[in-house]
């Protein structure tokens, strides 16, 4: 019934906003900053600079949904133009002596709950040095509370093994209202920022980069290959921010 559907939708929005407000207020009582991009992966950058025979392979994992998996206009998977491969190329240009493996464990259509369920088997088993986690786009389907539980679970398991984590806020979706704080995509982005501060892990604010492009006169379509997948230009925005975490 239309009236009932509107009422249920309003209740869900209020509930989600309440959950996010509680997180933000809790954080404000003990304010924290995002960890410093110049120092958080300093030990990894030092490894990258070592030469044979003192060097070793360094494993970076990109874990998440269809965007890091390389989906452009479904069903096309354009891995060479997706940010995991661009990250590899950027790091190799920056660190020519390094042996770098960028491993993609992303699955199209997956949420962070699915990613958390297979985290040990598919991610930790590969002995990563750094894990990038990108689920905000699809986590709209499970809501803020469940998304937080899954993300924190993965971060906790990584920390137990002294593995560094970088969380990514979602890339854009043409169906979302980028300037509306109540939009579910905007809420997922804010949740991820809060978790990054609480857990003291790295953050790449992809969502902010897409917002900035539009705010400064660009069109969202400039960055998209289809409604919910970025094109090469959109992936470039993400990888440029990722590379900031690996100081020269």
Spell out the per-residue pLDDT of the chain, length 248, in tens: 555 445 445 444 554 555 555 554 544 554 588 999 999 999 999 999 999 999 999 999 999 999 999 999 999 999 999 999 999 999 999 999 999 999 999 999 999 999 999 999 999 999 999 999 999 999 999 999 999 999 999 999 999 999 999 999 999 999 999 999 999 999 999 999 999 999 999 999 999 999 999 999 999 999 999 999 999 999 999 999 999 999 98
- Which DSSP helix (H) or strand (E) runs through 7? helix 2-29
pLDDT score of 32:
80
Predicted local confidence at residue 18, as pLDDT: 58
pLDDT of residue 21: 53
pLDDT at residue 48 in the model: 97
Q: How far apart are CA 242 and CA 74, in angstroms?
A: 25
Q: Peptide bond preceding 37: is omega within 30 degrees of 0, i.e. cis?
A: no
Residue 12 pLDDT: 47
Q: Which residues in 35-177 belong to E strands, given as ranges?
A: 57-64, 99-104, 130-134, 164-168
Q: Looking at residue 162, what is its pLDDT?
A: 98
d(CA 201, CA 22): 21
Q: Which domains does the chain have, with CATH numbers?
A: 33-243 (3.40.50.1110)
Return left, alpha or beta for 65; rule: phi > 0 is left, psi -120 to 50 is alpha, else beta.
Answer: beta
At residue 154, the pLDDT reads 99
* Host H or E run for residue 224: strand 224-226
């Amino acid at each position: 019934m239309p009236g009932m559907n509107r009422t249920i939708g309003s209740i869900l929005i209020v509930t989600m906003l309440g959950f996010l407000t509680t997180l933000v207020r809790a954080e404000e009582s003990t304010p924290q900053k995002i960890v410093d991009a110049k120092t958080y992966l300093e030990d990894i950058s030092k490894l990258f600079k070592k030469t044979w025979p003192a060097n070793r392979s360094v494993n970076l994992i990109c874990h998440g949904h269809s965007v890091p998996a390389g989906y452009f206009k479904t069903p096309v998977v354009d891995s060479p133009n997706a940010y995991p491969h661009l990250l590899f190329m950027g790091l190799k240009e920056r660190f020519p002596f390094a042996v770098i493996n960028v491993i993609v464990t992303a699955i199209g259509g997956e949420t962070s709950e699915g990613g958390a369920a297979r985290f040990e088997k598919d991610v930790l088993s590969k002995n990563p040095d750094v894990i990038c986690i990108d689920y905000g786009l699809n986590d709209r389907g499970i809501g803020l509370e469940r998304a937080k539980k899954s993300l924190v679970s993965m971060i906790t398991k990584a920390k137990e093994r002294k593995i560094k984590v970088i969380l990514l806020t979602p890339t854009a979706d043409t169906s979302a209202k980028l300037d509306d704080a109540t939009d579910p995509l905007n809420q997922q982005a804010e949740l991820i920022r809060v978790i990054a501060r609480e857990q003291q892990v790295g953050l790449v604010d992809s969502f902010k980069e897409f917002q900035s492009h539009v705010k400064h006169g660009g069109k969202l379509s400039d960055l998209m290959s289809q409604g919910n997948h970025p094109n090469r230009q959109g992936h470039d925005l993400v990888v440029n921010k990722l590379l900031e975490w690996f100081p020269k």
